[in-house]
A and B are shown apart, each in its own frame.
Chain A
C-alpha cells in the first residue's frame, strides 16, 4: 500500500516537473518580452511588509498605469503591473526579482521602493539586460548601478544638500553630525559629508557614526551635542529615531538648536507626533512639497492619489513620477515593445522635465545614475510642515 502511494506520488511529481518545464519553455522567449495575452508586463520589488514598509510607491505607479490602460493603453496594449513584496528580506528580494524578470518576463521595473532591492538585485538586472526606474532608491547600489536610475534624490545627496542649506542659507555654524549606519552605507554618507566640506570649506564639530537604529533613548547623544556647544544637529534618522532625538533634547532643555534631518522624516504623522517640539526641524523634500495643498506642481498627482485613496507621501510621489516617465518613454518606442527595445529607449531617452522635481529625469547609458539633484527645503512649524524656501535648492 505504502509503495503504491509512493509510486503515485513519484509519477505525479514527474508529471508536475514536465508541465512546469513546458511552461518555462514557452515563457523563456526573451526577445518577445510580453505577457501571454499580449500585454506589456512591468514589474516592481517593494517592501510591503516587514519593519519598514513603502506601499505607496507601487500603488501610485499602479494608479498611473490604470489610467493609461483605461485610455486605451500603449499602442493598443495594456500594461500588466506585477507588484512583489520582498518583506525586507534579502532572500525574498532575490526571489521576487527572479519571479518578475525570469518567470513573468517583465520589460522593465518601475516604481520599486525597498530598502534592499538594489543592493540584492542590481547585478541580476544588469546581467538580464533589464532596467529599473526606482520609485524610491534608498541603498547606495540604487545610485551606483548601470541598471538602476532612481527618480528621487536619495539619502546621500540629501545629506550633502541639507548640510549645504544649513551652513550656507541658514548660516549655521557649529553643526554636529550623528549617523545611523545600516549595512554598507557608511562610506557613502561620509563621502557626502566630505563633498559638503570641500564645496563650502566648513566642517562638523564632530561626527558620531555609532548611533544605533532604534535606540530607545537618545539622551546620551543629546548631552554630547549640548556639551560640544552644537547650534545645529544633522542626523540621518528615520521617523521614530528622529522623534526620540527631539524628545530627549526637549527633556534636557536643549532648545536653541536647529535640526537638519533627511527626507525620511518628511511625513504628516511625524509632524503631528513631534508637535511643538519639532519647531526647528528642517528637511530637504525630494519632490515638490506635498504638505502644501496649494502647490500647483502636485495638482495632477494629488487628484489621482485622492481618487484612488492612496496616502499622500513622498513615496507616492516617487512611484507616480517613475510610472509617468516610463509611460512617456514607452510612447516613443516604434515597433514591438520588448525588454531589449525598452532598455534601448531608456538608455537613449531625452531628459523629461516635471514641475514635481527640481531637475529633469534621465536614465541614460551611464554606469551610475542620480539625475534628481534638486530639493525643496521645508520646516516644521507647530506640528505642520511648511515651505522654508520659495524655490528648489539645486546641487552646485
Chain B
C-alpha cells in the first residue's frame, strides 16, 4: 500500500506542478487553462525536433521551453486583446480550442511515431523500501512546492502582486487606475507556459509521451486544482500529490485498480456537490 503510494508520487508531483499553474491562471487571468499541458507537450516535442537537427540537448531543451512560453503568451495576448471582459467560461473555451489545435498540430508536425526523448534527469535519488524514488520525482515535488511558495510571496509581498490581484478582481477598474492590464496578463500566461514546459520537458523522457497522453494529464491535474477550489495554491499542491499517491496505491489491488482511473472524476463530482450544497439547502428552506 505504502509502496504503491510512493510509486504514484512521480505522477503526483507533475499533477501538483500543473495544478499550481492552473490555480494561478484561474486566480490572476480568469481562465481555466485546458491547454496548459498541451503547451508544455508542444514545447517538449519541439525540443526533440531541434535535438534531431543536431542541436546540443541543453540548447534544444531551452529552445523548446522558450517556444512553450511564447505559445502560451500568444494565447494570453489573443484573450487579452479580444476577450478582456468575457466571463471565465468563454475565456476558458478558447483554451479548449487551443488544446485541440495543439494536439492536431503535434500530429502534423511531429508525426504519430514515438520520438526519442533524451532524459535531462535520470536515475534514482533514493530508495524507500522496495520503491526507488527517482530524481525526476524529487524535482517535480520540489518544483511544485517552490512555485507555490514563490507565487504566494509574489502575490502578497510585492507591488506586482498587488497589481495582479487588483487586475484579477476588477480588470476594468484596475486598467482605469493605470495598471497595464494586457501586459500583466500576457506575462502571467508566459510564466505559466514556461513553468509547465519545464515540467513536461523533465517528465516526458521518463514516461509515456505521445501527444494525447501527455496533453490529457490536464484531467487529473484539474481535479487536483479543484481541491483548492482553483484559489488556494497550498491545497493544489497537496491535491496533486495526494491524487498521484492514491492512484498509485489503488493500482496495487486487483479489485480496486480499475477505480484509480475514476478517482479524478469522483473528486470533481464530490467537489461540485460540496460547493453547490448551500444553494440546494437554501432552496430547500
Contacts and interface: CB of A to CB of B under 8 A. Distances in A.
A215 B264 CA distance: 13
B207 A248 contact: yes
Contact of B208 (A52, A218, A220): A218
A220 B7 contact: yes
Interface string B198-215: 000001011111101110
Interface in A218-269: 218-224, 226-227, 239-241, 243-244, 247-248, 251-253, 267, 269
B207 A244 contact: yes
Contact of B252 (A214, A223, A275): A223
A2 to B, nearest CB: 33
Interface stretch (B127-135, B164-172, B187-195, B265-273): B127-135
B257 interface: yes
A239 B3 contact: no
B8 A240 contact: no
Contacts of B252: 220, 223-224, 227
Instruction: Give the most central of B3, B14, B208, B260: most A CB within 10 Å.
Output: B208
Contact of B132 (A252, A267, A269): A252
A139 B252 CA distance: 29
Among B4, B203, B216, find the residue whose CB has the most chain A CB atoms closer than 10 A. Answer: B4
A13 B14 CA distance: 56
In which size bucket is the chain B interface? 35 or more
Contacts of B210: 214, 239-240
Interface string B124-168: 100000111010100000000000000000000000000000000
B10 A219 contact: yes
A273 B117 contact: yes
A251 B11 CA distance: 13
A53 interface: yes
A220 B206 CA distance: 14
A216 B217 contact: yes
B113 A219 contact: no
Contacts of B212: 51, 214
Contact of A217 (B130, B208, B216): B208
B246 to A, nearest CB: 11
Interface in A299-343: none
Contacts of B251: 210, 220-221, 224
B116 A272 contact: yes
A270 interface: yes
B276 interface: no
Given A206-B254, A210-B257, A216-B207, A226 B4 contact: no
Contact of B257 (A208, A218, A222, A223): A208
Contact of A219 (B8, B122, B130, B261): B8
Nearest to B210: A240
Nearest to B5: A220
A223 B216 contact: no
B260 to A, nearest CB: 8
B130 A223 contact: yes
Contacts of B260: 210, 220
Nearest to A272: B116
Contact of B114 (A214, A221, A239, A248): A239
A212 interface: yes
A272 to B, nearest CB: 5
A223 B127 CA distance: 13
B208 A243 contact: yes
Contact of B8 (A53, A210, A220, A275): A220
A275 B258 CA distance: 31
B208 A241 contact: yes
Contacts of B122: 251
Contacts of A216: 11, 14, 203, 207-208, 213-214, 217
A267 B247 contact: no
Interface in A1-18: none
A224 to B, nearest CB: 6
Contact of A251 (B8, B112, B132): B132
Contacts of B131: 223, 252
Contacts of B277: none
B124 A251 contact: yes
B138 to A, nearest CB: 12
Interface string A197-212: 0000000001010101
Contacts of B254: 206, 208
A-B residue pairs, 8 tightest by C-beta: A244-B208, A214-B213, A220-B251, A240-B210, A269-B113, A210-B258, A217-B11, A223-B7
16 contacts: A53-B112, A214-B212, A216-B208, A216-B214, A219-B11, A220-B248, A220-B252, A223-B3, A224-B4, A240-B213, A244-B209, A253-B132, A269-B115, A270-B113, A272-B116, A273-B114
Given A210-B251, A217-B8, A219-B248, 12 more contacts: A216-B203, A217-B11, A221-B251, A223-B7, A227-B252, A243-B114, A244-B208, A247-B205, A248-B207, A251-B206, A252-B131, A269-B113
Interface of B: 3-4, 7-8, 10-11, 14, 107, 112-117, 122-124, 130-132, 134, 136, 203, 205-210, 212-214, 216-217, 247-248, 251-252, 254, 257-258, 260-261
Interface of A: 49, 51-53, 206, 208, 210, 212, 214-224, 226-227, 239-241, 243-244, 247-248, 251-253, 267, 269-270, 272-273, 275
